[in-house]
A and B are shown apart, each in its own frame.
Chain A
Amino acid sequence: MSAARSCRPPRALAGLFVWRLRSTGARQIPCRFVHLYHVTSNKLITFQYFNFLKRMQLDQEKKVVHKISSASPVPQSWPEMSRRNELREMKSAAETEDSVIPGGAESKEDRQWKEMKLRPDDLPGILARLSKIKLTALVVSTASAGFAMAPVPFELTCFLLASLGTGLASCAANSINQFFEVPFDSNMNRTKNRPLVRGQISPLLAVCFAACCGIPGVALLTLGVNPLTGALGAFNIFLYTCCYTPLKRMSIANTWVGAVVGAIPPVMGWTAATGSLDAGALLLGGILYSWQFPHFNALSWGLREDYSRGGYCMMSVTHPALCRRVALRHCLALIGLSAVAPVLNITTWTFPIISLPINLYISYLGFRFYRDADRSSSRKLFFCSLWHLPLLLLVMFTCKKSVLEKEDKGELRGGSHEMAMEIRLP
């Protein structure tokens, strides 16, 4: 970046080089086309992967053909971090090859310069990445779990409104988070391909998008569901954007605040169904709260260098022993919380029994992480947490205490009382 750079080599040579690449590219296109067709038709692909393939077909000067054959398509459900990273790396490699300047002699570095013009075709993909659509989907599914676990008859419209409202609120919160963190995201490998970092969208547009998602989302929750859920949604957006995001750079307390942020969606689902904040909602929130620690602490173990350089205050950097202790503590707490569920009449007693193996397994991995404190144990714990939560919520749902069962018991008691009255009165 220094202007003291010497004069560039003659452009004529660069022109020759570019021409040669073009000719080889043209020859290879038919084979690539066939291969791409096979890839798209035989396997399930994500929206992002499809866009990536589309770009590959349109552009002639690609060097990454060999990478397509080695790429594995990402399934629609809970994606694994390693695959996501691979996909992201491929996309960034491909996009650096997009030649925006037409023709002429251009060096490889010149081709990496992009015009900061928003194209309508790119907007959905950019907004999906801005709102962290996969994380939003996760948040909406935990809210749905909260709704499903509530001991009331299932109402479809209320469920859909609650899910939509939660999704919009989550999109807004994620967009504001990215708006605040541009230079920090640029310096971390995990986040350096975000839209604001790459200049694909302006900060103003990001804020407008957040407002367009957040305001209707909270309004939908307040007016379409109930004010309590709306208030929780608004509070969660505030907690994530104004407390968690700045706190990340000031104190390790951010992890606990972040865990509360993750715990609120199922509580919102419950309050959407029942309209009140009772023990069941708090239990579900508690389960999500405890789950956040093994999940995040294990993830942060492998990112210590980036956090240190980026100036993030995380337990894994400043208090490594505490980091592992807290992860183990909360793995064990999950067993305890699962046992409390039948006491509060949310599930039957089969739930703690069936969930015991998976809770014990994650606790075992938590213990290994606590004892070994190395990369492999942290990765095992992280990947376990990815399937542990959906499985736990699924088991919880299957063991849910039936609403009908409760009603029958109540009716019987009331009915017999009435019959008794009738007998007495002539």
Chain B
Amino acid sequence: MKTNKQKIKEKYSDTVNKCALFLNLLCLHALRLRGVWEFIPNCEVLQQLRSGAGNALCLCLQGLGFRPPPHSHSDWIGPPDKHSNLRPVIFYVPPEESALERRLREARQEAQASNQRFWARHNRAFRQEKEEFIYSRLKAKGLEMRDESGQKATLSAEEMADFYKDFLSKNFKKHLQYNRDWYKHNFRITFLMGQVAVMRALRWLRGRKRNVEQ
């Protein structure tokens, strides 16, 4: 049986959470008007937002642990991710983003997310299967994973060659599919970049013409 105090505490924390979420989302929208950076549409970030957990804004801005300086109007690129070896990009969202620019940004985000998913999963599988292979081979030889001095036992390059061949052939179809997707993304993004560049150049020329006329 909960005491009155406990009930009030629960209701209070519930309200505080709701207020915090409301304020956070308000701040987020305000920042969007000014021009804020959008991060990779990480599934986990979106899930957290949807579930309304605590600091939605905090997560959004700190999802990648880095915040670009407010005066900068360009994208920022970070160090390689430890799983996928790909460098994450924080995209700048200008306050007056045109539809074409938004399409370009979304295409880049989508490509980034898709590449991140593929390579993180692929590299994790490689590492795992490599460990299993080394373990099974060492066991077959009657050796332990670590020798007397505590050093991790390794196999020679020739023994590992069997694993590399096997892994490559197992993932061949997956790579073919990924290649197709990657080429499609790459061409689409580059084409959109071209269109945006032409649009910006025309906008600049129109601006100059107006200035000259004035």
Main secondary structure on B side of the interface with A: helix
Are A101 and B59 in touch, CB under 8 angstroms? no
Q: Which of A208-265 contact B (CB under 8 A)?
A: 246, 249-250
Known A113-B76, A305-B160, A375-B157: A1·B83 in contact at CB below 8 Å:
yes
Residue of B45, B86, B189 touching A203 (CB-CB under 8 A): B189
Residue of A3, A115, A198 touching B87 (CB-CB under 8 A): A198
CA separation between A126 and B7, bound complex, in Å? Answer: 64
Given the complex, which residues of A lie within 8 Å of B85, measured CB to CB?
186-187, 192
CA separation between A331 and B75, bound complex, in Å? Answer: 50
CA separation between A96 and B65, bound complex, in Å? Answer: 17
CA separation between A320 and B157, bound complex, in Å? Answer: 12
Known A112-B78, A114-B76, A183-B119: A5·B164 in contact at CB below 8 Å:
no
CA separation between A116 and B48, bound complex, in Å? Answer: 29
Are B190 and A203 in touch, CB under 8 angstroms? yes
Residue of B44, B88, B157, B169 touching A4 (CB-CB under 8 A): B44
Given the complex, which residues of A lie within 8 Å of B65, measured CB to CB?
5, 8, 109-110
What 0/1 pattern do residues 168 to 194 of A give for CB contact below 8 A with B? 000000000001101100110000100
Known A2-B44, A183-B182, A199-B89: A110·B66 in contact at CB below 8 Å:
yes
Given the complex, which residues of A lie within 8 Å of B169, measured CB to CB?
318
CA separation between A258 and B77, bound complex, in Å? Answer: 33
Residue of B76, B158, B167 touching A116 (CB-CB under 8 A): B76
Are B63 and A183 in touch, CB under 8 angstroms? no
Given the complex, which residues of B lie within 8 Å of A250, measured CB to CB?
176, 179
Q: Does A313 contact B (CB under 8 A)?
A: yes
Q: Does B205 contact A (CB under 8 A)?
A: no
Q: Does B142 contact A (CB under 8 A)?
A: no
CA separation between A183 and B85, bound complex, in Å? Answer: 9
Known A1-B64, A3-B42: A113·B80 in contact at CB below 8 Å:
no
Are B123 and A3 in touch, CB under 8 angstroms? no
Given the complex, which residues of B lie within 8 Å of A305, measured CB to CB?
160, 164
Given contacts A5-B62, A183-B86, 7 further A-B contacts (CB under 8 A): A112-B78, A113-B78, A179-B190, A183-B182, A250-B179, A308-B165, A317-B168
Chain A residues within CB distance 8 Å of chain B: 1-5, 7-8, 96, 101-102, 109-110, 112-117, 179-180, 182-183, 186-187, 192, 197-199, 202-204, 207, 246, 249-250, 304-305, 307-309, 311, 313, 317-318, 320, 373-375
